[in-house]
Amino acid sequence: MDRTQLIERLRRETFDVLVIGGGATGCGVALDAASRGLRTALVEKQDFSEGTSSRSTKLIHGGVRYLEQAVKRLDRGQFNLVRDALHERALLLRLAPHLSRPLQLVTPLKRWWEVPYYWVGLMLYDLLSGRASIGRSAYLTRRRTLKRYPALRAEGLVGSVAYFDGQFDDSRMNVELALTAIEQGAAALNHMEATGLLKEDGRLSGATLRDGLSGESLTAKARIIINAAGPFCDLVRRMDDPTCEPMLTTSSGVHIILDAAYAPPDLGMLIPKTEDGRVLFTLPWMGHTLAGTTDTPAPLAEHVPVLDEEIEYILRHVRLYLDRPVTRTDVKAAWSGLRPLVSNPKAGGTAKLSRDHVIADSPAGLITITGGKWTTYRKMAQDAVNHAIARGGLTAHNACRTTQIPLVGAPGYEPEAAPLLAAQFGLAEDTARHLNLAYGGRARRVAELASAGLAGRLAEGHPHIEAEVIWAVREEMACTAIDVLARRTRLAFIETRAAQAALPRTIELMAKELKWNKARRAREQRQARALLEGSL
């Protein structure tokens, strides 16, 4: 991926659509627009998925919680939402089979009357998924529950209900969405901030941009601008109209990582009611246990601090349900993601709150798309591009076809290829398995790089290897050490200490590949250390 060439395209071409924001929503929009034959650009001020999209619970789900609300309120719209999300769930599992898989989750029950309540609810969940079903729900007796999830607290347990949802690697899927959009013809760039919007005769005509790596400014021309800046949407709206009212408020959702002993490798847990009436998950993820999340009002910030009380809140619930001691020192990593909460949809002009997402139009033609969830990014993108075509009088070559476009790692992916990779390239078993899942059909090319003297582990006890650093730079647009450690390999999300240990070697490899001078190396070191020691 040649950054210079992509920047040159930004300067030279007039685009049909310029997308601001490279999270799931923005990259989904870029892929949809480019695959309809629209001239498409995307700019992301940090890295693809640097925002909320790398900080999710990593579930591809219809939302059992939303279903409960639908039943309680007899809300048909809410039922449709769950049904549509279940349909998207099945699609994503098909479009990115290497990065996603079905996962069974249990809901432990402590009162007998809860059994029929949750059982009926999950039957409905299965029913709504129809042909998009990925596995049937089941009632598990107390004994069977404890057999499947030995760390569960037995005291007071009457049994559990088990159901299926999808699980995925959010930031790798986000990066692959960006790469797939580029394959379809989009000019998508990370580390490129939209700093202002340009107008001609009162209509938006482009944006001023700042290259976060070189510090250079440039302008890009576009007929339609789509604001997919997530929690930052209001800041982009203000570039268009400095007097506009905010649409969003934000809240922080924290997750923590514990070691593998807190969840079986093939089973998650949904805690049905926390002390503040929400749900909380413990999930097996990347050989560890992910637990979360919280919901704490928090101001807009690039890196949201994780508060001690948020970590304590999660640990308290884990202790309540698991018969295994857990303290602050067991937490290997913690991070926060900002929820963009649409509190004032009408502020966006002619807002369309059609699903759980909003598409809003400004008089100058800024189209803002926000809300929704990771699972529904594709449908959100489809709606936004339909809207842009109508609003901008754009001519697309074809209708939306994103249900048919697999992500870049999907072609050639073989679920059982890991032992072959290990044998052929002399890789350790865990590394081969990790490469197969992370890179899918492209894993062999990463393994080939490894066999050229880059098979060393980046950190003791983790499967990630040196070849991935070079691959991330050459093929996945990683520009900084944290791009590699946080969003290409996920090491920084799994264990802070391991990421710190991997940092010097990562910088050394990147410096050689990208011809960094001493000053640039020192800057990388400083910035990455600060993020790993503070808030990721």
Ligand X SMILES: Cc1cc2nc3c(=O)[nH]c(=O)nc-3n(C[C@H](O)[C@H](O)[C@H](O)COP(=O)(O)OP(=O)(O)OC[C@H]3O[C@@H](n4cnc5c(N)ncnc54)[C@H](O)[C@@H]3O)c2cc1C
Q: Report the residue number, 28 or 440, with the smaller CB distance to ligand X.
A: 28
SS3 call for 101? strand
Torsion over CA: 107, 108, 110, 116 (sign): positive
CB neighbour burial string for 37-55, b if at least 16 within 10 angstroms, e if fewer: ebbbbbbbbbbbbbbbbbb
Q: Site residues (CB under 6 A) for ligand X?
A: 20-26, 43-46, 50-53, 55-59, 61, 193-194, 228-232, 236, 253, 293, 337, 339, 370, 372-375
**Virtual CA dihedral for 60, 66, 67, 72, nearest 10 degrees?**
170
Look-up of token digits 């002619």: 350
Helix axes 76-95, 114-129, angle to 10 degrees: 60
- The distance of closest approach from Cβ of residue 303 to ligand X in the complex, given in angstroms and rounded to an integer, is 11
Q: Report the residue number, 165 or 475, with the smaller CB distance to ligand X.
A: 165
Residue 287 to residue 172: CA distance in whole angstroms: 16
- The distance of closest approach from Cβ of residue 321 to ligand X in the complex, given in angstroms and rounded to an integer, is 19
Q: Report the residue number, 78 or 145, with the smaller CB distance to ligand X.
A: 78
Q: Report the residue number, 293 or 431, with the smaller CB distance to ligand X.
A: 293
- The distance of closest approach from Cβ of residue 534 to ligand X in the complex, given in angstroms and rounded to an integer, is 18
Residue 426 to residue 68: CA distance in whole angstroms: 50
Strand 296-297 versus strand 203-211 pairing type:
unpaired
Based on DSSP, count helices (H) and strands (E) in the chain, helices before strands.
18, 18
Q: Report the residue number, 253 or 463, with the smaller CB distance to ligand X.
A: 253
Look-up of token digits 């044998």: 423
Q: Report the residue number, 66 or 118, with the smaller CB distance to ligand X.
A: 66
- HEC string of 215-274 equals CCEEEEEEEEEEECCHHHHHHHHHHHCCCCCCCEEEEEEEEEEECHHHCCCCEEEEECCC
Q: Report the residue number, 331 or 509, with the smaller CB distance to ligand X.
A: 331
Q: Report the residue number, 166 or 463, with the smaller CB distance to ligand X.
A: 166
Q: Report the residue number, 184 or 375, with the smaller CB distance to ligand X.
A: 375
- The distance of closest approach from Cβ of residue 106 to ligand X in the complex, given in angstroms and rounded to an integer, is 17
Q: Is 355 left (phi over 0), alpha (psi -120 to 50) or beta?
A: beta
- Upper half-sphere CA count for residue 115 (Cβ side, 13 Å): 13
- The distance of closest approach from Cβ of residue 260 to ligand X in the complex, given in angstroms and rounded to an integer, is 20
**Cis omega before residue 293 (within 30°)?**
yes
